[in-house]
Amino acid sequence: MLISPDRGRFVFEKLERDLRKLATAQQAQSVHNFRTTTRRLQTLLLELLPERDRNQKKLLRQLDEIRKRAGKVRDLDVQLAALRSLKIPQEPRRKTQLTQRLIELRAKHEKKLRKLLTQEMMREIRRRLKRAGDEVEFKRSRDPLVVARQLLAQAPPADQLSDDVLHRYRILVKRARYAAEFARKTAESTKLIAQLKKLQDAIGNWHDWLTLTNTAAGQLGDIHQSPLVAALHNVTGGKFRHAAAALEASPNVEPPKQEQKTTKAATVATRSRKEMRGLQRATRTDTAA
């Protein structure tokens, strides 16, 4: 099954639009759209086409530089969204302080991103995009569904699922989904894409909360020092278990064989729940006294 020419041409056109919107305003949605479309173009040129010319190589380097800079902004956007969705009574002042710190960091990285998006760079990238889109030969492409399954077969060997292993699955599933999306629309491709999207969403949600938890711990201390951090560990542990279950249920990947040992995320979540109960008991005792 060859690449759908319409789908292939669309990614060039969409990236040009997304780049223009990103240069105009570095809002959360424009940052996200640019990054995902860039990843799709990278998948097309690196995974599905047999070779790249000098123009395509230069284009990928320029886009990668912007994508990485935009990634700093995107990480903070997802952390802010997660933190604002957290409804807990513990440490409202610290939650506000953490929110403000994330906003400040986002402004800092947004400024760096904006500085990179010069008019000269935008003109050159648009020129290279148009040239690459005009010259690409879709008839020479690899089968997108075959490539997707080959990527999924690269699942990391592991005795049990850990944060690092789940993160590697996250990257592979994302790349496989983007490859599959270039296939012509059939029942097979539609089913595979839907399955990969569901799995990607589950693992991605866990990763968003893990990133927030790590940031909070760096700002506020560990679970012994902050009930808010303990609560975040609890949520992240739950997200880890949900992602692990989605991975186990997926017919497209082979998850690690689970031993009876407890994973790091589960251990932290269990410990943080105990810490939370202890803090709550101490609070009640202090209030009674």
Q: What is the pLDDT of residues 227-250, one digit of tens each?
A: 999 999 999 999 999 999 999 999
Q: Give the span between the Cα atoms of 289 and 283, in whole angstroms.
A: 10
SS3 258: coil
Structure tokens at 285: 């005792």
The CATH number given to whatever domain includes residue 28 is: 1.40.20.10
**The last residue of a domain, from among 107, 122, 140:** 140
C-beta atoms surrounding 84 within 10 Å: 11
Express each pLDDT in 73-95 by its tens digit.
999 999 999 999 999 888 899 99
Q: Single out the residue of 235, 174, 173, 175 nearest to residue 206, CA to CA.
A: 235
| Torsion angle, alpha carbons of 232, 233, 239, 245, to 10 | -170
Query: How sure is the predictor about 140, in pLDDT bands with cuts at 50, 70 and 90?
Result: confident
> Phi and psi at residue 146, in whole multiples of 5°?
-65, -45
Are residues 149 and 285 located together in one domain of the fold? yes
**The last residue of a domain, from among 102, 119, 140:** 140
Structure tokens at 160: 């049990």
Q: What is the mean pLDDT of the chain?
A: 88
The total domain count for the chain is 2
